[in-house]
Structure 1
Amino acid sequence: MSLTWKKKALRYLWFPLVFLAWILLLWLVSSTAFANWLDNFSAKSLSKSALLGDTFGAFSALMAAFAAVGAILALAEQRHAVKRQMFVTTIVAMLDRLQQTIADTDFFVVQSVQNEDGTVDERTVASQSGQSAFYEISQELRLFISENFIAGMGPEAKKGLAVLLYPGFYEGYKDDLGHFFRQLYHIFRYIDEAGDDEQERFVKIVRASLTNAQLLLLAYNVIAGEGRIKFSKYISDYSILHNLGFEDDELGDIERALVIERLGQSALVSRTENQDRLQANFLAREMANAHAKQELRDFLNNNGLSINYGVKWRNETLNGFGQKAK
C-alpha cells in the first residue's frame, strides 16, 4: 500500500476510528468501576458481581471493534487493488488500439502520368506505413508551410500563415490523423479522471511512446486544429510535448514560438524536469560544457576559422544562471 493510499484510507475511515475511541473510553470507565468494586468488596456486595461481567463485556466489544476496523481496512485495500488493476488493464488495451491505428496509417506518393491518348492517370510511386508514415506527413506539412513563406514576411505573419494553412492540410489526412488524435485524447482524459496518484507515471509511459513527428503533428492540431478545444488542457497540464524537438531552421523557430505562446512553457517542460534542472550537479555539468564550447569558439575565432558547425552555440538551459547569450 502506497503512502498516498494510507492517507486516503485514514481520511475515509474516520468514523470507525472515532467509534473505536468511544469503545476504548467506555472500557476505561468500566475498568475504573471494576477497580472500585474490588476495593469495596464484601460478602454483602456479591449481588453486584454483574459488574464483572459488564467489564469483560466492554473488553470484548473493544476487541470486536478492532477486528471490524481491520476488516474495513482490508476491504478498502482490496477495492483499491481491484480498481487499479482495472485501470491498468484499460490503459493497456487503449495503448494497443493506438499502436494498431499507427500501424494502419499510410502515406502515399502519387505521381501524375500522361497516357498516349492524352488522358492523365495518378499512380502511387512510393508508400510508407506506421511510424514512417507519420514522419513523411510531418515533413510534408513543414514543406507546405515553408514554401508559402514570402520574402519580407515577419515572424508574426509566419505564425499566422502556419495557423491558416494547417486546417486545409489536415483535411487531406483526416481519416488517419483524426483517428490517432481522438484515441490519444481519450487516453490522456482517462488517465486524468481515473489515474489517482499514478497520473504522472502513466502520462510518462504514453508520452515516451510518441515519436517526434507525432508530437509535432499533435502540436499543430492543438494550436490550429480540432484539438484546440479540449485537448490543449492536457497538453499543458501533463507536458505532453515534453519530448518534442524542433528543427534548427526558420520554421522550427516559428513552431517553438507558437507552442510556447499558445500552450505555455509547461507544454514543453515537465514539473520534474524543472526540478532536475535546478539540481546543483546538473548545473555544474552544464556550466562545464558551456565553458568548453566557449574555449572552442575562442580558438576558432583567434585562428580565423569558421564557427559554423550547423549548431547553436547558445545553451538555453543556463539562461539566467550567469551565461552570456552568444
Structure 2
Amino acid sequence: MSSKPGLAITAALTAAFAAYTIYVICAGLGFDPLGMSWDFAVSAQLGDSFGPLNSLLALAAAISATAAFLDQKSALNEARTNAKVDAELSYKRDVERTFFNLLQLFKETLGDISTVDANDWRKSLNGRPAVRAILDTDIRKSTGDADADASRFRAAAFKHRDSLSHYFRLFYHILRFINVRDLKIDDKLLYTRLLRAALSDAEITIIALNCIHGSGKPKLKRLLEEYGILHNISERSGIDFNIFDNFDKGAFGDRTAHSKSGKVN
C-alpha cells in the first residue's frame, strides 16, 4: 500500500480548510470575495461548521500516517529480502570459488603421484599414468581372496604413502566440503559431478579400493555412495578389482553395475 492517496486526501482537505478560513477572515474585515453579507451574530454557528471539517482532517491525517507506516514496513521487508538474497549469492560465490581452488589443488596433488615404469626402470611416471601403473603393477587384479587383495593394496599404499595419502585425504575433504555446505541439493550434485568428471578410470578405481581396504572406510565410502562418485568407473575395472560387489548401488549413480558374480546391483 502506498502513502500517496493519504497525502492527496490530506492536501485537498487542508486546501479547503485554508480557503474557508481566508474567506471568513476577509468577510470579518468587511471584504466579501463572494459579494455576500456577513452577519457575525451567527459567527458562533459558523464556527461550529468547522467541526466536521476538523474531523475529516484528523481522519485524513490518520490514513496518511497509517499509509506511511505500511509503506515503511513494506520497504523494510523488501530491504531484508534483498539483504538475504545478497547474502545467499555471496555465500554461493564463496563456495564456488573455494571449490574450484580445491579442485585445482587436487589436480596438482595428482601430479605429485609418481612411480617407475615397470617396463623401463629408468623412466618415471607421474599423475594419471602413475596411478594406472600402481594399480596394474603393485595392487593388481582381485584374486577373489579379500585378505590377499587388502594386503596388496595396503602394501602399495604404504609404498607410495607420501603422495597417495595426501591425495586420498584431499579428495575426502573436497567431497566433505560439498556435503556440509548449506546448498541446495542440485548445487551439491553439480559440484560432485564436476569433481567426478575430473577423475580418470584409474583414479576412480584406486579411490574405491581405498574405501574397501584402506582409510576411506567408512567416511569416504558413505559419501561415494551418497553422490554416485563411481558412476564413471569402467566395467573392466569394476570387475577386475571387485568394486561392484563392495558398494551399494548408489555409488554408481543411475548406471546398472554388473558384479563379478553376474549379479546386477
Q: TM-score, normalised by structure 2?
A: 0.71
Give the 3-state SS of the residue equivalent to 1:210 in structure 2: coil
Aligned pair partner of 2:150 in 129, 141, 163? 163
In structure 1, the residue matched to 2:241 is: 255
Deviation digits for residues 265-292 of structure 1, max 9, x if unmatched?
Answer: 111124xx58xxxxxxxxxxxxxxxxxx
**TM-aligned CA distance change 1:110 to 1:241, over 3 Å:** closer
Unaligned runs of 5+ in 2: 7-48
In structure 2, the residue matched to 1:92 is: 100
In structure 1, the residue matched to 2:22 is: none
Superposed, 1:204-243 pairs within 5 Å as 204-243=193-232
**TM-aligned CA distance change 1:176 to 1:246, over 3 Å:** farther
**TM-aligned CA distance change 1:107 to 1:195, over 3 Å:** farther
Deviation at 1:126, TM superposition (A): 2.1
Structure 1 Cα separation of the partners of residues 191 and 113 of structure 2: 24
- Tell me the amino acid that sits aligned with residue 255 of structure 1: F
**TM-aligned CA distance change 1:188 to 1:75, over 3 Å:** same
Structure 1 Cα separation of the partners of residues 52 and 118 of structure 2: 108
Structure 2 Cα separation of the partners of residues 224 and 213 of structure 1: 16
Deviation at 1:163, TM superposition (A): 2.6
Aligned pair partner of 2:165 in 155, 171, 178? 178
Alignment length (residue pairs): 211
* Conserved? CA contact 1:87–1:195, under 8 Å: no
* Conserved? CA contact 1:246–1:255, under 8 Å: no
Deviation at 1:193, TM superposition (A): 1.1
Structure 2 Cα separation of the partners of residues 206 and 181 of structure 1: 14
Aligned pair partner of 1:45 in 52, 56, 76? 52
Q: TM-score, normalised by structure 1?
A: 0.58
Give the 3-state SS of the residue equivalent to 1:168 in structure 2: helix
After TM superposition, the structure 1 stretch with the greater mean CA deviation from structure 2, 53-62 or 204-213, is 53-62
In structure 1, the residue matched to 2:138 is: 141
RMSD: 2.9
Structure of larger gyration radius: 2
**TM-aligned CA distance change 1:97 to 1:195, over 3 Å:** farther
**TM-aligned CA distance change 1:131 to 1:253, over 3 Å:** closer
Structure 2 Cα separation of the partners of residues 76 and 127 of structure 1: 53
Structure 2 Cα separation of the partners of residues 98 and 195 of structure 1: 22
Structure 1 Cα separation of the partners of residues 239 and 113 of structure 2: 28
Deviation at 1:132, TM superposition (A): 1.1
Superposed, 1:60-75 pairs within 5 Å as 60-75=68-83
Give the 3-state SS of the residue equivalent to 1:247 in structure 2: helix
- Tell me the amino acid that sits aligned with residue 98 of structure 1: F
Aligned pair partner of 1:193 in 167, 180, 195? 180
**TM-aligned CA distance change 1:124 to 1:165, over 3 Å:** closer
Deviation digits for residues 27-77 of structure 1, max 9, x if unmatched?
Answer: 9xxxxxxxxxxxxxx643344331220111111112112211211111111
Deviation at 1:164, TM superposition (A): 3.6
* Conserved? CA contact 1:98–1:183, under 8 Å: yes
- Tell me the amino acid that sits aligned with residue 59 of structure 2: L
In structure 2, the residue matched to 1:130 is: 127
Aligned pair partner of 1:264 in 227, 243, 248? 248
Which has the bigger relative contact order, CA under 8 A and spacing at least 6? 2
Counting aligned pairs with the same residue, the percent is 20
* Conserved? CA contact 1:260–1:267, under 8 Å: no
**TM-aligned CA distance change 1:99 to 1:225, over 3 Å:** same
